[in-house]
Structure 1
Amino acid sequence: MWLILCNLGDPSALWAYQGLKARGLSPLELISAEELMYSPRWRYHLSSRGASFELDLPSHRRLHSEDVQGVLNRLGMLPTEHLLAASPVDRDYAAQELGAFIASWLQSLPGRVINRPSALALAGRYRHPSEWTWLASRAGLPVVSFHQSSEDNGALRGQPGPALLGYQGLLVLEGELFGPPVPATIREGSIQLATLARTSLLGLSFANNGVEPWVFTGATPLPDLRPGGPALLDHLARQLRAGTEVQS
């Protein structure tokens, strides 16, 4: 069994679900964050010898850990509407505990998981724009310079220079680049950035500053997958089929 985990209203997850089914990935389950949070029964066992789980979803589907072969993880925020009746202090505490539980469960999933959680996010490693800029520079990509000081009230300000024109998005999935044609230096730098970021699936954004046609402006572990087209789906299906042979 393969899983796609996402939030409601994620068109990329639905697109990937339909595309992967067409490529013969079966059984394939699309599961929302709401289904996970409102499940009537969880059994999750974690020890030094490994982890196992059994989960009943509101739709009456039952998931077993031994059946999972691969996962596309696109979980963002967890719904907390069911905690609104609690006091603010208790509600915040419960939300943190639920987030920690889901992160632990995601980390323990068997097979190929794209992307595993980090300490700061459920679907990979989110970073401050300054860290993305630093990593992109290390990867050899042209970057937009900026500065930040205590007088900026936390806001990032770009250095004076040409206005950014247009927008281009690229996707990196396990060493392969998807999107429009790019110069070799941008291709190599984008793949290197995903490696430095230790992120299986990474979306990168670029713009033209009037001097450089490809200037890095940001990255996310939760990109829109659709610009990757059929080639991305083909590679994604191969990665998920790799099962326990490859770990993210």
Structure 2
Amino acid sequence: MTRHGASIRVECDGFAIVGAEVRGVVNRLGGGPRWTVGIPVSDRDRRYANAELRAFFLSWLTALPCPVVNPPTAASLDPVQWTLLAAAAGLPAAPVRLRTGTLMTETSSRFHLLVIGDAVIGASSDAIAQACRRLSRLGATPILGVALGDDGRFSAANPTPDLVEAGPQAIDALADLLTNCVTPR
């Protein structure tokens, strides 16, 4: 511990990351990292090791003193929560049916939008762009992929969208987001 809170140093293959020296992070952990080992382990042990690894990364991201874009939140992990937030943001949401371990919406994803800070790439109207920005803010997720069905209803959110597919506009928006430190701690 330092007088400013937790400190952390991670070393791997001679490379070190020192928390106090990190100036900003874009969190791309969705369901968490998956750990594989070169020896046979039971599924139970693998799940336990993956849960521990995920806990480590989430606690590290939370402890960093620098801006973290898309910080860990419960909303970034739960599709049902995203649907509720989408409705609260003003996006019409498709009905949701739950089955054991599966979330199904009654619409297929057709239109994919990308929110990066204040930029919304792919929105068909200002109203949709504004609702997507509100969804991003409600979910504390400045980088967010939003899927809408053919009927314009919300069908899914992705806190780790493909940034390359959106091209130079996404790169410019990401640079602006990081430059302006949207999520300072």
Query: TM-score, normalization: structure 2?
Result: 0.80
The equivalent residue for 1:231 is 169
Question: Helix, strand or coil for the counterpart of 1:75?
Answer: coil
Q: Is the 8 A contact 1:69 1:241 kept in 2?
A: no
Q: Is the 8 A contact 2:144 2:159 kept in 1?
A: yes
Name which of 56, 70, 73 aligns with 2:11: 56
Name which of 66, 73, 94 aligns with 1:144: 94
Runs of at least 5 residues in structure 1 that lack an aligned partner in the other structure: 1-45
Correspondence list, 1:52-201, <5 A: 52-58=7-13, 60-76=14-30, 77-82=32-37, 84-85=39-40, 90-118=45-73, 125-128=76-79, 130-148=80-98, 153=100, 156=103, 164=108, 167-179=110-122, 181-201=123-143
In 2: Cα distance, 1:192 partner to 1:177 partner = 11
Identity %: 33
CA root-mean-square deviation? 2.9
Aligned length: 184
Runs of at least 5 residues in structure 2 that lack an aligned partner in the other structure: none
Partner amino acid for 2:136?
Answer: A
Instruction: Give how far 1:232 is off.
Output: 2.1
Q: Is the 8 A contact 2:112 2:147 kept in 1?
A: yes
Partner amino acid for 2:57?
Answer: I
Return closer, same or farther for 1:84/1:96 CA change in 2, 3 Å cut-off.
farther
Query: TM-score, normalization: structure 1?
Result: 0.62
Return closer, same or farther for 1:135/1:85 CA change in 2, 3 Å cut-off.
same
